[in-house]
Structure formats: C-alpha cells, structure tokens
Amino acid sequence: MITFWQQENGKLISLEKEELDSSKKTWIDARCVTREDISILENEYKIDQEHILDILDPDELSRIEDADDYVLTIMRLPIFVPTAEVPYFSIPLGVIVMPKKIITICWTDCEVLKDFAANRVKGISLNDFPAFIIQIMSRGDITYLRYLKEINRRASSIQGELQYAVENKEIIQLLNLEKSLVFFTTSLKSNQLLLEKYRKTKLLRLDEDDQDWLDDVEIDNRQALEMADTYSEIFSRIIDAFGSVISNNMNVVMKKLTIITVVISVPTFITSFYGMNIYLPFANLGPLSVVIVTGICLAGIGITNFFLNQRGNLPRKEKKSIKHSYKKKIELRKLKKQIEIQEA
C-alpha cells in the first residue's frame, strides 16, 4: 500500500496522487508492499529492483548507498507482534532520497511509521530530508528503549511464576525474550555503524542542527545497546540458575527413589532366599515360618530405614546448632547495644 503525504501548517496530511502539490516536497510511504506496489516503484520512480529486494529482505543490515538518481538508506526498526513466537524483533526500513521526494519502503507495518503518520512526532519537516531521516532513527531508538523495558517487565513476571513452579512454558518464554534481545543487539550495532557513516558521508548534506541531533541519536542508540547487552546477560544467568534448580530438584527426587529402592530390596532379598528349593532354616515350622520370615523382613526394613535416616539427620543437627549459635550471637549484640545506651 502506497500513501502520499505532504506538509501543511506543520502537520502531515494524506493526499491522493492527483491532489499533490508539485511545488511541495512529498513523502511516499510504501508499507506492506505488494507486487503492484513494487512494479510502481520500479517503473514510475525508477528504483532499482535489487535495492527493493534488499529492503524487503528481513535479514538486511543497515547501510547507506549512492545510486544514480537517489540515495538509499537502510536502517533497522523495532517491531512488536504479540502473536509471534518471538514477539519482539526488528525489520529493515528503506529510505530513498530524491530531489523532491522521499520514499520509505517496508515489507510490514511498524509503530515508528504509525507515529509519523499520526503526527505524534514533533518538529517534522519535509523540507529537510536528512533531518527527516534522523528523526526516523531517533524515534526508532525511543521505541527500542520502550520495548526493552517491556521485555524486562515480562521477564520479571515470568521469573516470579518460575519461583512457584518450574515449567517448560515459562522457560521457553524466557528463551524467546532472550532471542528478541539478540535481534535488538544486532540491529542496534548495525544502526550505530550507519550513524557513524552518516557523520562521515558526503552523500547527504547535514547542517549544524542535524549534526547536533545526530549526536543525541547516537547517545540514545548506545544507551539502548547497553540495555540490551545488560538484559541479555541477566537473562542468560536467570536461565542458568533455573537450570540448576531443575537439576537440584531432580537430584532430590532421585535420592528419594534410591532410598525407596534400597528399603524395598531388603524384603525382596529375604523372600527370594526362602524361595529356593533346598533345606532352609524354619522350613519345617509350617505357618509359623511365614510369621518368622515376615518378622525378619520388617526388621530388615526398620534397620535399613534407621541407618538411612540417621545419615540424613546429621546435617539437620548441624544446621540446628548453627542456628542456635547464630541466635546467641544476635542476643549478645542486643545486650551490648543496651549496655552502650545505658552507659551513654
């Protein structure tokens, strides 16, 4: 879908192609482009097909390139899709600068372009195309920062759920959020290189105001990059910590199963011994032999359980003694404070 915008009284107004004023500069907004839109961009505006394909490539990195009749800039902007497996990721946006037109091409819709179309961005001016591009990148950095904060909040809520029960669903959500941080980090690094090229390039003329604005955009981009790196490191540590919790819970379960197996193996050994076809003690006592064998099995279970519990209780006794000594230290500190207060 191609939309035409011109500026009147400081606001962007959507117009039909026949209503455009040829004396004013125009923003041509191509979002969710179709094959018909691609053919219009190729035939009517003479945009190279390879450049269009690069813009529509989801994995294309940021760059600036000089063509014969225009200057191409590709930057990466953040996007949020709640229904996607990885809800936060980034997309390439192509900006083509011509003498009287600026064309933006994107294979989907994003919040940054919606903000521009809704006049939610202050200080927009179509008379200065380099400043317009810097405004897009500045709005993109602000959106990156907001999405990063949302990712952090979602991770905190998932972490709270994992403290009660460790399930695969929450861990997968954390992994998807970590993927989003990786996408954001890669895109922000690519945009940082683009900003450095903008400062050195002569393809677009930047005045002093544009240079100052470019400095602010670089600061916001670095801040977003540092936040993404920090959150990514925190996420990896959280996932490792919960992996250790899962492993510890598994060890506890295996320990209990091992104790049950050892306890059950004692009567199994005794009954198997009396199941042999040879002369065994108490074999001629009739029904009394059953009682004796049962008593031996119960005694074996009791003795085994006693020794296992005795070994398991040793750390508990040590913990109780540590807690008792710790309480005594606290009481002594309180008494010392009371004495000092009385002396004062």
Q: What is the mean pLDDT of residues 188-217?
A: 85
Q: What is the pLDDT of residue 319?
A: 47
Q: What is the pLDDT of residue 222?
A: 92
Q: What is the mean pLDDT of residues 291-307?
A: 72
Are 179 and 86 within 8 A, CB to CB? yes
pLDDT one-digit tens code per residue, 112-171: 888 888 888 888 888 888 888 889 999 999 999 999 999 988 888 887 777 676 667 777
Neighbouring C-beta atoms of residue 4, cutoff 10 Å: 17
Q: Which residues pair with 103 in a beta bridge?
A: 28, 96
Q: What is the pLDDT of residue 281?
A: 65
- pLDDT averaged over every residue in the chain: 80
Q: What is the pLDDT of residue 271?
A: 67
Q: What is the pLDDT of residue 8?
A: 85
Q: What is the pLDDT of residue 322?
A: 45
Is the pLDDT at 21 greater than 80? The verdict is yes
Q: What is the mean pLDDT of residues 221-246?
A: 83
Q: What is the pLDDT of residue 23?
A: 85
Query: Given the structure tokens 């897009």, which residue do they identify?
Result: 136
Q: What is the pLDDT of residue 19?
A: 85
Token pair of 316 as six digits: 């508990």
Q: How far is it, in rounded angstroms, from Cα 127 to Cα 39?
A: 27
Is the pLDDT at 336 greater than 60? The verdict is no
Is the pLDDT at 326 greater than 60? The verdict is no
Chain centre to alpha carbon of residue 20: 44
Query: Given the structure tokens 């198997």, which residue do they identify?
Result: 272
Q: How far is it, in rounded angstroms, from Cα 44 to Cα 29?
A: 15
Q: How far is it, in rounded angstroms, from Cα 344 to Cα 332?
A: 18
Write the single-letter amino acid at 170.
Answer: E
Contacts of 3 by beta carbon, 8 Å cutoff, 6+ apart: 14, 28, 29, 30, 31, 117
Between residues 274 and 200, the one the model is more confident about: 200
pLDDT band at 212 (very low <50, low <70, confident <90, very high): confident
Q: What is the pLDDT of residue 170?
A: 78
- 189-198, 234-243, 305-314: least confidently modelled range: 305-314
CA angle 148, 151, 153 (to 5 degrees): 110
Q: How far is it, in rounded angstroms, from Cα 15 to Cα 319?
A: 77
> Residue 27: phi, psi to the nearest 5?
-105, 120
Q: What is the mean pLDDT of residues 49-57?
A: 89
pTM to 2 decimals?
0.73
